[in-house]
């Protein structure tokens, strides 16, 4: 219980430190819509830095917003930086996820996942940390937020 309280305090700090960033605000609004409509089939949000093809994605499962950062999307030192960032919030290793496909195959891949309950501000702030600390993108980088299509 003490660890959970510490984690929520840390995530709240990160959310407040990124609150004035328009990228975070746009992401938070999209996540708020995701939370408000949990019955939608297309329950995801993707935040893209188009020129570098770097992204983070969110889904809504078990009544919480979950950030999902596939290992396949990370190159070189990004994998190490992602491990450090996620370890800072007690996610020690990526999860193994099996995804059904229309071809009947069920590929399994590794992905970092972290749940935020319904706290869209903390989720959006953590996405900003991924872009800053894992992808090393500049503060003035421009992003596109896509909601379930």
The single residue listed with the structure tokens 């709240």 is 12
3-state secondary structure of 50: coil
Q: pTM here? A: 0.79
Joined tokens for residue 131? 């872009």
φ, ψ (nearest 5 deg) of residue 138: -70, 160
The pLDDT of residue 138 is: 92
104: left (phi over 0), alpha (psi -120 to 50) or beta: left
The single residue listed with the structure tokens 């099996």 is 98
Task: List per-residue pLDDT tens for the chain, 149 residues long.
Answer: 334 333 343 444 344 444 456 668 899 999 999 999 877 776 899 999 999 999 999 998 888 999 999 988 899 999 999 999 999 999 988 887 777 666 666 666 788 999 999 999 999 999 999 999 999 999 889 999 999 85
The pLDDT of residue 105 is: 66
């Amino acid at each position: 219980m003490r660890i959970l309280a510490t984690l929520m305090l840390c995530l709240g700090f990160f959310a407040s430190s990124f609150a004035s960033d328009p990228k975070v605000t746009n992401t938070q609004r999209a996540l708020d819509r995701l939370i408000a409509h949990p019955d939608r089939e297309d329950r995801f949000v993707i935040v893209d830095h188009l020129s570098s093809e770097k992204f983070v994605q969110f889904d809504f499962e078990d009544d919480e917003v979950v950030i999902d950062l596939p290992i396949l999307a990370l190159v070189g030192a990004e994998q190490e930086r992602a491990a450090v960032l996620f370890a800072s919030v007690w996610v020690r290793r990526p999860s193994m996820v099996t995804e059904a496909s229309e071809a009947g195959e069920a590929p399994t891949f590794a992905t970092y996942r972290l749940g935020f309950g319904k706290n869209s501000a903390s989720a959006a702030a953590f996405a900003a940390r991924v872009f800053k600390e894992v992808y090393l993108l500049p503060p003035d980088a421009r992003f596109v937020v896509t909601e379930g299509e």
